[in-house]
Amino acid sequence: MLWVLLLLVSWAVAGVACTRLCLAAVRAAAVQDVDTAGSGGRDLTLYETAFLSGGPRRVADVTLVAMARQRRLLLAHTGWATVVDPLGRDDMERSVIGVIGPEGQSPIAPVRAAAAATDAVRGLADRLERAGLAVSDGAATTIVDGIRRVRLAALAVAGLGAVALLLPAASYLPRHLVALWFALPLTLTLSCLVIARIEVPPHALWASPAGRRLLGPLPRAKVRATAAGDDRTYLTSVAVHGIRAVGEPDLRAAFAHREHHPGHAPGHRPDDACDRHRTEDDPGSGSGGAREH
């Protein structure tokens, strides 16, 4: 009868995890149900679109892409960013330049992470939250934690079921029936994850229902942006879909580069030896034309 105890534990783990996720979703929906009449007719800025679609990291990506497109920031296919014009045109651009340094160079990956955590991005998030367009950090974190707990519960149920099947079988209950009993809590957790996947798409972690309504008119189909495209269309596509919407191979390679550069933090200029190494790898990283992000 030990398998019965394991089954009870499985139901308890699955039930608690699924209940907590459902309660978190209900509370988040209640918090987001605010008066948005004042924002119903407004248009989203590019940075607001980026934040509501993909959060702080998406804002940093759009800023880097915009600066690279205007030849004020060089993004090399080797994964390095170099400041060309140290004068930022808005708070976001000044934050990126401040992370890299006015005349600095840095690997792109730490720049993206640092720029996403700047005061400019936090201020944007606060304004969107006050307007009822963005989900609060607490609500988004609670939902993400709830989904993580349900995943762990599903693994726990599967593990407990496997242990139960390895125990000496009771003479009156075949093993396939034991497996069937454990399949019930496992089905509960998997169904909860499927529903969460449908009801909580990636942008729902950042945009409230009102924010999603403003995102609705924007094209949801991914259209690859190219250098020949219109600036607004190009950047809006990146804001909505992320870097995967960029069609230029060099730009995509710049963001895909994950090589670790020990000792090079944002704002650090490599020494001469490293400069020579970069020149060999990327002939265009010197005084040549700036590459787009």
Q: How confident is the model over 123-181, as pLDDT tens digits?
A: 999 999 888 888 876 666 788 888 999 999 999 999 999 998 888 765 567 888 889 99
What are the structure tokens assigned to 96, written together?
């990126």
Whole-prediction pTM: 0.65
Q: Mean pLDDT of all residues in the chain?
A: 77
Q: pLDDT tens digits, residue range 194-215?
A: 988 887 766 667 887 788 788 8
pLDDT at residue number 13: 95
pLDDT at residue number 25: 78
Which among 136, 138, 146 has a CA at the least distance from the CA of 22? Answer: 146
pLDDT at residue number 272: 37
pLDDT at residue number 273: 33
pLDDT at residue number 236: 87
What are the structure tokens assigned to 184, written together?
């019930």
Regions of the chain with pLDDT less than 50: 34-38, 221-228, 259-265, 268-293
pLDDT at residue number 31: 59
